[in-house]
Amino acid sequence: MEVLIKNHSTGRIAGVTDQGQLNVHAETISQQHFISREFGRAFQVWGTSGTLTSGTNTVLHLKNDDPTRLLIVSYIRMQQVGSATGGSFGSIANYFEIGYNRTVASGGSAATIANSNRLSGSVSSVTATQGAPTMAGTFVSAERWYPDANAAQQILNKEGSIILGLNDTMEIRHVGTFTDGIA
C-alpha cells in the first residue's frame, strides 16, 4: 500500500530519501524573532542606574500592565562601567540582582520601550522605570550575577525566561560599594 503526503494548497507531494526518511525543509528561528515577525509583540527596553552610589541602585523596574497577556523576559544584558571608586570590578561585593514584588515609590524616569518589529504598530503594555528610583515593598531575590573584572558588556541569557503575570513586577538592581560609574 502506498501512502502519499500531499500539500493540498500547492499540490506538492513530500519526498522520501533513500534511507526511508521524509525529505523536509525546516526553518529554525529564535522565539523572539517568531513572536516579532508573526505577532509584532517583541519589545526591547534599556535602563540605566544613573550615577552609582554605594548600596543598592535600581537599574530597571518593569511592571506588566497588560490586562490579559503575560510578560516574558527572555534576554538580559548587563554592564557596570566606571573607574571603580569605592570598590573593584570582579569583586564579590559588586553584583547585579534580579528579583520581584517591589513597586516604584518615587523618582526615576520612564525607560523607552521599542517594538522590535517596526511594521507592527503594537505598543507595549509595560511600565518601565530606570534611573535608581526609590522602591517600596519587599524584594524577593531570584538571581545574582557577578560580572567579571574587565567591566565589558556581558550577557546573562536567562534560560527558561522570566514570566510575569498580570500586575507582576521585576527589578534589576546593582548592589555594591561603587561611588561612581553607571550600571
Which has more pLDDT, 156 or 45?
45
Number of domains in the chain: 1
123 lies in some domain = yes
Whether residue 109 lies inside any domain: the answer is yes
The pLDDT > 90 percentage for the chain reads 52
Q: Which domain holds residue 141?
A: 43-176
Give yes or no for residue 131 having a pLDDT over 60.
yes
Predicted pLDDT of residue 74? 84
- What's the pLDDT score for residue 132? 94
pLDDT score recorded for residue 76: 86
Q: Is residue 34 part of a domain?
A: no
Q: How many CB atoms lie within 10 A of CB 91?
A: 15
Alpha helices, DSSP H, located in 6-132:
31-39
- What pTM was estimated for this model as a whole? 0.82
**DSSP-derived secondary structure for 103-135:** EEEE--EEPPEEES-TTT-----EEEEES--EE
